[in-house]
Copies of this chain bind each other. A is one copy, B any other.
């Protein structure tokens, strides 16, 4: 470590981008922000100055590429939400049986949250006012991720042929809230004497489906 008085990592001064490639800095800024977010584990600890230091650039340079801090965080969110969706899709396709496929989604959801706590926090646990503008519910609702979930639920429902056929959107939302419940509690109360984590996840994830089965 060669830094003298600063608390956070300071990258060596970055070389200026060649003409016409000013946008390269934009990507570097997003990368650094995401890295900081993970390292510090706290959205509030990620300041414009810290990001600038991590990139090896001066604070005002950030403003060449982002309107304000909000927009920067938003960019990070978008990128990670896409990754989140990709992971869920991969899990879904890993199983042939529709019900198993749905369960795989659920497990992947919880795992994503536990492995990316700070991203999960920003995506799903941040109060509305603190969320970057335009990162609204419509965004989530209209997102590929949510559509994919509804699809998976619909296929599971059809495969076990329940009468009367429940609304896949309603069941999807229930599943989402249940997966979110266990994920967020595990994140906020890591020291709680949880029972076996996998068993718990398995149990609660099964519920919305099992509840639908005929008696």
**Contact of B215 with A174 in the complex, beta carbons under 8 Å:** no
Is chain A's interface secondary structure helix, strand, loop, or mixed overall?
helix
- In the bound complex, how far is the Cα of B91 from the Cα of A187, in angstroms? 28
The stretch that binds B, out of A3-11, A19-27, A118-126, A156-164, is A118-126
**Contact of B204 with A208 in the complex, beta carbons under 8 Å:** yes
The stretch that binds B, out of A46-54, A68-76, A92-100, A134-142, is A134-142
- In the bound complex, how far is the Cα of B69 from the Cα of A187, in angstroms? 24
Copy tally for this chain in the complex stands at 2
- In the bound complex, how far is the Cα of B185 from the Cα of A188, in angstroms? 14
Q: Contact residue range for chain A?
A: 35 or more
With A204-B174, A206-B211, A208-B204 known as contacts, the answer to whether A125 contacts B195 (CB < 8 A) is no
| A170 in contact (CB, < 8 A) | yes
Q: Report which A residues bind B (CB closer than 8 A).
A: 41-42, 121, 124-129, 136-138, 140-141, 167, 169-170, 173-174, 176-182, 184-185, 187-195, 199-200, 203-204, 206-208, 210-211, 213, 215
